[in-house]
Structure 1
Amino acid sequence: MAVGVLLLTHEGIGTAMHAVAVRLMTQLPLRTAVFEVPFDEAPEVSLPRASAAMRTVDDGDGVLILTDLYGASPSNVAAQLARLGTPARRISALSLPMLLRVMNYPEQALDALPATAAAGARNGVVLDDA
């Protein structure tokens, strides 16, 4: 078993991130699902469908929920998901370096993956003087 990954984002972001990650890695080593919150949908409407998406990636080791923007609707839905009973950790500011870093450490437990994800995001920012 392994941790599942749920990309819980605004429309268009999760799907694009997932597609690029699959293109670069061919096959993702962690079970991954995308749930995009429609811009005009109330979080309480999104929650049951997001919960169903989370269950599709949970093999018993928990789910890492990656959101795009802290405090926005997807992040708020993620916060509610994390309290529903399935072991879950959430991290915001989803980026491609973050997602790829997580996928490169599929053996890590749920408690270790948020730090790995954050390191991927931090290390993915390069100030280029050129």
Structure 2
Amino acid sequence: MIGLLIITHEAIGEAYRSLAQHFFFGDTPQNIRILGVGSHEDHDSIISRAAAMAAELDYGSGVLILTDIFGATPCNAARRLVESGKTAMLTGLNAPMMVKAANYAPAAGNLADFTRMVKEAAINGIIDITSRPEGCFA
């Protein structure tokens, strides 16, 4: 099982917790932890809390860290935790990414392959629709 650590700006993480609970019928899976970072928080404190959570989530196959915005405080803290083969990180958290990660992490065993699969879900979940489909009525 791969652990999932979601590090986001403040309440965004809570919205993703609600999403996970929606898909998993009210319970946040045991392999998921969410860290919402407040604007007032000290960078070292964030890293310390995130490291403790990552350690709790390591079931032997690694931990995937998901962050919201590349280059922002949650991402910068998470980058300090990345260790080849042990922890990996994806930025740009979106709902398809979260659902795919939460759904497949319990059975996943290869962190690198899992990270690629979750990234593909995030990208494939972005679809541009620039016109109304034929036969669709307003």
Fold shared per TM-score above 0.5: yes
| 3-state SS, counterpart of residue 111 of structure 2 | coil
Identity of aligned residues (%): 30
**1:100-121 deviations in Å (ceiling 9; x for gaps):** 1122323232111221111111
Residue 20 of structure 1: aligned partner: 19
Aligned pairs (5 A) from 1:1-130: 2-26=1-25, 27=27, 31-83=31-83, 87-106=86-105, 107-108=107-108, 109-128=110-129, 129-130=131-132
Q: CA deviation at 1:45?
A: 2.2
1:3 and 1:30 in contact (8 A); partners too = no
Give me the whole-angstrom Cα distance separating, in 2, the residues matched to 1:99 and 1:112.
Answer: 16
| 3-state SS, counterpart of residue 105 of structure 1 | helix
| 3-state SS, counterpart of residue 35 of structure 1 | strand
Q: TM-score, normalised by structure 1?
A: 0.87
Superposition RMSD on alpha carbons, in Å? Answer: 2.0
Q: CA deviation at 1:86?
A: 8.3
Q: TM-score, normalised by structure 2?
A: 0.83
Equivalent position amino acid for 1:101 in 2: K
- Greater mean deviation of Cα atoms: 51-60 or 5-14: 51-60
- Please identify the structure whose Cα radius of gyration is greater: 2
Gap runs ≥5 in structure 2: 133-138
Gap runs ≥5 in structure 1: none
1:30 and 1:103 in contact (8 A); partners too = no
